[in-house]
Structure 1
Amino acid sequence: MTKKNAFYAQSGGVTAVINASAAGVIEAARENSDTIGALYAGRDGIVGALTEDLIDTSAEDAATVAALRHTPAGAFGSARYKLKGLDENRVEYERLIEVFKAHNIGYFFYNGGGDSADTCEKISHLSDEMGYPIQAIHIPKTMDNDLPHTDCSPGFGSVAKYTAVSIREAGYDLHSMCKTSTKVFILEVMGRHAGWTAAAGGLAAEFEGDAPHILLFPEIEFDRAKFLAKVDDTVKQYGFCTIVASEGVEIGTDFTRGDGREADAFGHVQLGGVAPKIAELIKSHLGYKYHYAIADYLMRAARHIASATDVEQAYAVGRAAVEYAVAGKSGVMVTIERESDEPYRWSIGEASLQEVANVEKFMPRDFISEDGFHITDTARRYLKPLIAGESYPPYVDGLPDYARLKNQAVPKKLETGFEI
């Protein structure tokens, strides 16, 4: 029987470790060359499949593939491109199947969040319906940590480590100057609807008075009077106040964000900018001098401070996706299963894509302190192992030495193009 080729694509916002998953896929596919033929990657994610712009991963030598484990961002390019529902428009899905047929692709590995899980599930069903079965496996990735049915999402542990380290260092800085200068520092972190990243900042506060003093979660309704009182009390007690705020926090009608802003292809309004609004609120009501920082791309690209746990898990889910496909599985997402907190033990599992697609996992209320401004010991037990360990990239001349891929194009076979 003729071997089928495989297709891998990266989707949505990239992370410090998504390329580790890519390395896992590529290396496992090469080890299973008796079952899997060529492994192609989509240039700019799923867009590469639609436009028949495929990359031949066999052009990369083993050392370059291994270097993906310590290289941030998306090595093949990613995209925020959401395919329409099958009932709305089948054209895009039929185009994918057409491209897959032309290149003898029978395995589809999609590395992304909830929206990509939805796409993966639809392709699995439609391919069967069209008489060209494709084994579709979803590889989890999201720094937001909001995928269900998995203990954590690859990409989150490294962002969590960045947040905790950054707010601890900023706290030391602020404390040293607060007597005569700045009293308040605000770090705005990513997190649209779920406050996992902001929660991770709480790990830095191990002793009384440690930064951060206040965490702001999307899951907790913002109370202006309560918040200002907390800031004021903190400054009076410790001399300074540090805050980690999730970008998804709504801080009142006077500070509505998102109005008139463009939405991405997934329908998500671009966020960001809550930190200056909070700073303005503190200045106008309390008069304290402030500084703020918006971490944004810096936090998700920070491979130099990645969590070793995160790197290991990202690589493992990539390998597992190939192993599941070779075993005949389809329509599933690879999951990380926690077996114990101390010592931290985990294993690989799976979940049906029907249960994963477009479902968000929020912070449990028992992870958040009673006053809504910090994390509980339960949250600490969950978060602590996810930031454990260091996995530094190699450095040359003082800078990290990251992989540079050839990204050699695969010759097109279809006469018709496709506009997106």
Structure 2
Amino acid sequence: MARRLQGVVRGGDTVARLGGDEFVLILPQTSSLDMAVAVLARARQAVEQPLEVDGHSLRISFSAGLVVGGPDQSAETLLRDADTALYAAKEGGRSRSEVFTAAMRSRVLDHLSVEEELRRAIEGDEFELHYQPIVTLAGRHTVAFEALLRWRHPTRGMLLPASFLEVAEDSHLIVPLGQLVLRKACQFLARHPSATWRVFVNVAPIQLGRDLDGVVRAELDTAGVSASRLGLEITENGVLNAAGSSLTEMQKLRATGIELLMDDFGTGYSALSSILTTPISGIKLDRSFTAQLGTDQAADRITSAVGSLVNSMGAHGVVEGIETEDQCDRALQHGWSYGQGYLFGRPTPEMALQLPKPLPAPRSPVTPATLDDDAHEALSADPLLPAERSRLARQP
């Protein structure tokens, strides 16, 4: 790579390797942005030529950040700004170039500010969980809750994950933050020992392969909660990219009785057959499909086909983002058993949560008619319920 780059620069220019796969070009005799862009274009063309290694042809992606410096700028400032532009280029996708702007520096400073606040918030326990029900579409019985993170910021009020999750992932703070969410969810379950529902917690792909199995078991043991009462949601891309230790961890988690759901299904490039090669027990159809139910024939056909295949593979499926009765009816018609969305309940803090009543313990003598017939039927065979609760419902 160094030789290729040296072949496109002019006399007086400098090519240096910063480390890893990062190089820097210093172009002192460049009087305009257009001249710098022209050199960058030649560098891209040279680097992206196929590379032959042991009979294999490899293609290399090329991302670059460009900054035009002034006489009063230090080398450290120029390198920092070029790196900022490179980061912006990578954010936009592979094989892109970006020219540094002052707005980029502002975004970086904002990013660093949020990162520092996040560190303090994790230490100061400024986070709380809100819970949204997952229900049976046929009977509207709550069988699970999804735990959703909220940040009670001391000056900005209640913040949704969209305002801080990207920073948490970039800074790897998502790992301690994810453990905090697991702890709070297990404590919530411990406060409701007779509950007949699971709680699902979102897991970031970066948490896989970092002893997630050990972390989960430790939090369950500390709270005194059975593994069968907990579920984890992993994004579609996170599941499909899992390999090695990450896949092993997923298999261990599943073996302990923890349900694993593939979240946001349909936003990536997976095939349904991929579920068969992973320890996933079900999927959650992304809300982008739900929003088009009844208004887009293609969305209806896809939702119906996916629902049928999920059922045929013995998995269970949840439709996300249901807001209307028509969407609920169509999801049910398309073969889906479970739903989640504002129609059934918004994310709510524990203090204001209306929890479903526990299934009554059987007395002797007792017949199924003693219980509400519809509720008994829905709960007794429900795969999203903790295993011991399902057995309780089936006792004669």
TM-score category by the smaller chain? Answer: under 0.3
Query: Which protein is richer in helix relative to its size?
Result: 2
TM superposition score normalised by structure 1: 0.26
Report the TM-score when normalising by structure 2.
0.27
Q: Which has the higher contact order (CA 8 A, sep 6+)?
A: 1
Q: Give the greater-gyration-radius structure (CA).
A: 2
